[in-house]
Amino acid sequence: MPDAFMLPDAESALSIARDKDLSTLNFTFQALPRLQTSLSFATYDDIGAGVSSENTSLNLKYALTDEGRVLPAISVGIDGLFGNDRDAAEYIVASKTLAQTVEASVGLGWGRYGGAADVSAPFGQRPAFDTAKRASFDHLFKGDAGVFAGLLWHTPVDGLSLAAEYSSDTFANEAVMPDSRFNFGARYEVSEGLTLGAYQRGGDTVGVTLTLSGNPNRPRVAQPVGAQPVFVGARSRAAQTWGSAASPDFDRLAELLSEQGIQLQKAKLDGDVAAVRVVSWSNSAVPKVIGRTARVLAATSPQSVNVFDISLTLNDLPTKTFTIRRNDIHQLIDQPLGGSQVLANTGITGASDRAQTWDWQ
């Protein structure tokens, strides 16, 4: 049965469930912070009739209110849109988190969720389903209503949750009616994005579930934030922090790069070229390491420097050398698509031979 909670924004999930009477495939997407959508494919094994039937439908859930310190979250939902009458259902549900580990829900359902007929047609009788017109809306929230409730307990065992619910779905259209309105389930998050589950519904039907989930706002590989990048202004305002061309202070340059999480291994001034060899212990993204190094050099190098040769070290061996024009950094780096333009003008070669002997190492 449904609850009132929303998934994180942009979350998507693919769920598969299977028992002896029913197979479902659901693709759920949190389209907006308050709107959750789901595309459902169901196959019913109608044992009594000796045939199987299928249904494809759209489910929508909209959050009316968020959960507060006292008041619950409240959502309204419509299941089975553009499908057949078998899965058509509507509901309003309230959910509240109790003691930080238990989620309690109670709601009122119509259509499939109104099979228990606990409340007699509060908003009028439900019209007969028109099989020739799938896009029908005159049946919404009509007919007898059923009361449902559920509890979800996030146990002390990491990743394990247990559920119990009082269902208003009596499976009136199925060949075998349930023996009980109580359903039970368990799910275990094997790893981030992978959850396995099992359930018992109707007293005697057992099934299993598999859910795969992901979110572009929550990448699987952690992205280090690091320090704020060095501001690069006009070239005429470069601070020349690490000295002049005649007496460069490479120790100071090493400190400036260290603040960006980058280690300076070797350095040399060769005419108008500043050549450095760097390695980053905190950031494995090559473009970011090169970009941060170029920013530091542009903002702090002597005015006589026009070109940066930046060699990146991997396992103590220089792998590639990136030759960057200093003026590109000052003029393009903070412009729209500036990074792409700098890259287009960058020369990428094998380890540079320019600095066979280093001034600092």
pLDDT in tens, 307-351: 999 888 876 677 788 899 988 888 887 777 777 888 888 888 876
- Taking the C-alpha atoms of residue 57 and residue 80, their distance in angstroms, rounded to an integer, is 5
The phi and psi torsions of 31 (rounded to 5 degrees) equal -65, -40
In three-state secondary structure terms, 299 is helix
In three-state secondary structure terms, 237 is helix
| Per-domain boundaries in the chain | 12-214, 235-350
- Is residue 173's pLDDT more than 80? no
- Is residue 264's pLDDT more than 90? no
Q: CATH assignment of 12-214, given 3.10.50.40, 2.40.160.40, 3.40.50.620, 3.40.640.10? A: 2.40.160.40
- Is residue 51's pLDDT more than 60? no
User: Sorting pLDDT into bands at 50, 70 and 90, what band is 11?
Assistant: very high
| Helix (H) / strand (E) containing 41 | strand 35-46
- Is residue 283's pLDDT more than 80? no
- Is residue 185's pLDDT more than 80? yes
pLDDT of residue 94: 97
Assess contact for 114 and 89: CB atoms under 8 A: yes
User: Sorting pLDDT into bands at 50, 70 and 90, what band is 18?
Assistant: very high
Does the domain at residues 235-350 carry the CATH identifier 1.20.1250?
no
Give the global pTM.
0.61
pLDDT in tens, 118-171: 888 889 998 887 666 666 788 889 999 999 999 999 999 999 999 999 999 887
Q: What is the pLDDT averaged over residues 8-32?
A: 92
- Taking the C-alpha atoms of residue 257 and residue 54, their distance in angstroms, rounded to an integer, is 62
193: left (phi over 0), alpha (psi -120 to 50) or beta: left
* Closest by CA position to 211, among listed 9, 69, 12: 12
Half-sphere exposure of 34 (CA within 13 A, CB side): 10
- Is residue 353's pLDDT more than 60? no
